[in-house]
Structure formats: structure tokens, C-alpha cells
Chains A and B, each alone.
Chain A
Amino acid sequence: MLDGLLILLLFQFLGEVVIHFTGLPLPAPVVGMVLLLLALMFNLPGGDRVSEAAGALIRHISLLIFPLGVGIVLQWSRYQDYALALTVAVVFGTIVTMVLVTLLLKVLMPREHHHD
């Protein structure tokens, strides 16, 4: 757990360093994620020690997120004028995207040899 957290914070820091020196318009944690992925693909020694901390953080991601979402209700006056646009874009947009992506996969994905 401790090693994993150390690795995650180290790579987030590396992401910050890369952003600082390159001025890329990217979120530092995303750069850290790419760097960690590359390190794992090149067999970073002890890389699998990240699994426990990574698993715990990802499992409880809703805990980190929902306090941001309550802002929608508490600052509703900021958004109420666009309630229709928001609802249509999010709900209808998601349904349409789901249909299109599923159709695309049906066309592109080669058949499996065995069926279950």
C-alpha cells in the first residue's frame, strides 16, 4: 500500500515536472498516468506494487468525486437557465452515442471462434 502510494505520487510529480518544462496544455496527473503506463510496459522493477494502492483509490473514486457534484444543486442558480440544454445533451446524447458505438463495434469486431 505504502509503496504503491509512493509510486503514484512520484509519477504525478514527474507529470508536473514534464508540464513545467514543456508547457503542454495537459493535466499533470494524465501525463503521470501515461508515464506510469510506459514504465509498466517497459517492466518497471517493482511496478506491480502499485496494484494495492491503485485498486483502493479506483474502488472508492465516487468518494473523491461526489463532493464536486453537489455543487450543481448548491449553485443551481448558475445552471438553471440551461436546464433543458443540459438534460438533452447529457441524457439523449448518451443514448445516441451508446447506439452508434455499439453499431460501430458490431461492424468492426471480428467474430469469435467459439460462442457462449
Chain B
Amino acid sequence: MTDLLHTPLFGLLLTLASYRVATWIYGKAHSLPVFHPFLVASIPVVVVLPLAGLSYEEYREQIQGLSFLLGPATVALAWPLYRQLRTVRSVWKPVLITTLVGAVLAAGIAVLLAWWLGAPEPVVGSLAPKSITTPIAVEVVRSTDGFVALAAGAVAITGIVGALVAGPVFRLLRVRDDRIRGFALGLVAHAIGTARAFEYGEKAGAFASLALGLTGLVTALALPWLWPWVAGLLFGI
């Protein structure tokens, strides 16, 4: 009977069932960021795997089929990006400048803080892609020699924190422009921020989707080239 635990079917069933319950809870909680499926779905998996005597490595192998879909999901981001590019032609200049500066800020602040507090290179490298959408982040983190699990977690927490603080930040800075609210949310807090932006309306959602796509693209294209230089500067290797 226990050999059934060591089949891909078990891992996939556990993963899908946890996710299904998590999306139900997220809906019941009116999409409150702290109930994001990323967090809630993790709980049953974290509890069940040790009980079933399965290692994290074996679980990862069981759900390989699911993880493979991250590739096509990354390619798929071209579609919303393409759709939004047409709606923002009139403000391409501020959009482009903010994307470039914002992508550097998002990665740079996290990297410097972690480095300053004594984290070693692979941990710091895992945080560099924390503001970009997860499928791209887990690809990019290979080029910074980071940990995939840590990168995925940092991205999720970034999204949740960003979505939670956005409201107070916008009130404090007296921002009422939906283009600004949307773009800031998409740039800093990727998909979770984008979901939050849609609560401000269609326009905010569109600008968030654009920011998510552009930030992911810029970071993915720049980080693999820049990282060896940054790591050399910080860690002297």
C-alpha cells in the first residue's frame, strides 16, 4: 500500500487537491493577499510530505510534469504584454524610464540589504529576481546561482507585501491616478499586485499587466549579464 505514495500520481493528486482547496479559500476571503493560494496551498503539502515519508526531492520528481508547464507559461506572458502595449503608446516614455529604474531599484535594494546583513552569495542571488513574475524568476535564478525554492518564496512574499502596502502608500503619497497605481503594483508586486490593481479598475489592471511583463523582460535580459559583475563586486569572486 505504501508504495502508492512513491508514484507521480500521489504527488500530483496532493498538489492539485491542495491548490483546489486554496483557490476556494481565496475566493471566500475576497482575494485578500494574505490568503493567496501560494501560501495556503503550501500548508497541506508541507504537512503531508513528512507524514508520508517523502523527501522534498522525491516530491519534486513526482510533479515534474506540472513544473514543465512553467516553460510554456513564461512564453505565454507575451500575449498579455502584446495586448497592453497598444493601450499605452501615448505614455511610452515615463513607462520605459520607470521600468528601467524600477527594475534596478527592486533588485538592487533587496540584494544590498541581504548582503549587508551577511547573507552568502547564493542566498543574495536568490533575491535578485524577487519583483518579477515567478515563471521568469525561477528561470533567471539559475543564472545567479541561487536556490529555486528561495527565489519562488521571495517572489511570493514580495507580491503579498507589495499588494498589502500599496493602499496605504498611495494614500500617503496622495496618488489617485489609476495608471500610476496600476504600474507601481505590477512593477513591484508582479501577478499578485496585478490582481490587486484590477480592484482599482480595468485601466489600473492594464497598466499593472504591462509593468509585470516589461519588468520581467528587462530583468531577465539584464540580470544574467550583470550578475557576475555584481557578485564580483559584493563577494570578490
Contacts and interface: CB of A to CB of B under 8 A. Distances in A.
Greatest chain B CB density within 10 A among A15, A34, A96, A105 is at: A105
A50 B76 contact: yes
B169 A116 contact: no
Contacts, number: 308
Nearest to B142: A27
Interface residues of B, number: 102
Interface string B1-39: 000000000000001101100100000000000001110
A23 B36 CA distance: 38
Nearest to B221: A26
A109 B178 CA distance: 11
Given A8-B72, A32-B71, A101-B98, 4 more contacts: A9-B72, A71-B56, A79-B147, A106-B177
Interface of B: 15-16, 18-19, 22, 36-38, 41-42, 45-46, 49-50, 56, 59-60, 63, 66-67, 69-82, 85, 91, 93-94, 97-98, 101-102, 105-106, 109-111, 113-114, 117-120, 123, 127, 130-131, 133-136, 138-140, 142-143, 147-150, 152-158, 161-162, 165-166, 169-170, 173, 175-180, 183-184, 187-189, 191, 216-217, 220-221, 224-225
